[in-house]
Structure 1
C-alpha cells in the first residue's frame, strides 16, 4: 500500500527542513487561498515561488492520487539558486448526497 506523509499548514518549519535536504514534501491545503497563505509563510524562511517554472499538474499519477493538485517549484536565497519542490494536495470536493431525496 502507498504511504506518504503529508504536512499540514502548521508544519511549515518541518517541511522547509525536508525541502533543504533535497526531498519533495507533500502538503495538504484546502484551496488556493490556503496555498497562497503557505507561500506567504515560506517567504519568512527566505523561500519564494519560482514563477518562471509553471505548476506541474502531471508530476504524479492523478488517477491513483486523486487529491493531488500540482507540484510547485521554489528557490531560496541561501540555497544558491537550487530548485526545491512541494507537492500540493487539495482536500477532496465533497459532493452532496441526494439519498434523502429518494426516500431512503
Structure 2
C-alpha cells in the first residue's frame, strides 16, 4: 500500500517486543548462577544460626522441601508448569519477573 498509511514492519509483524521461544545459553547460565546464589545464602544463614545454636523454621523448611541447583533436572531449572500449555510446560523466561521468583517445585510427572 502506498501513501501516508502504508504498513510498517511493527504493524505488519504483530508484537514489537517478541520473546524468543527458548532460553539462550547465557540466560541459562545466569539462571543457574541465581539458583546457586540462593543456595549459598540459605547455607550461610544456616551455618550462622548453627554457630549460635539456633534454628529457623523457614530455613529448615527450605532445606527439606527445595532441591539444590545440582539436584534439579534441567527441565525444572528452565521450564515451569502451566496447565494451559500443550505439554504443560513453558519456558521460565515467559513468566513475568522470572528472575525474582523461586520456581524450584513443579507438580510430579509434568
TM-score normalised by L of structure 1: 0.22
TM-score normalised by L of structure 2: 0.21
Greater strand content: 1
Greater helix content: 2
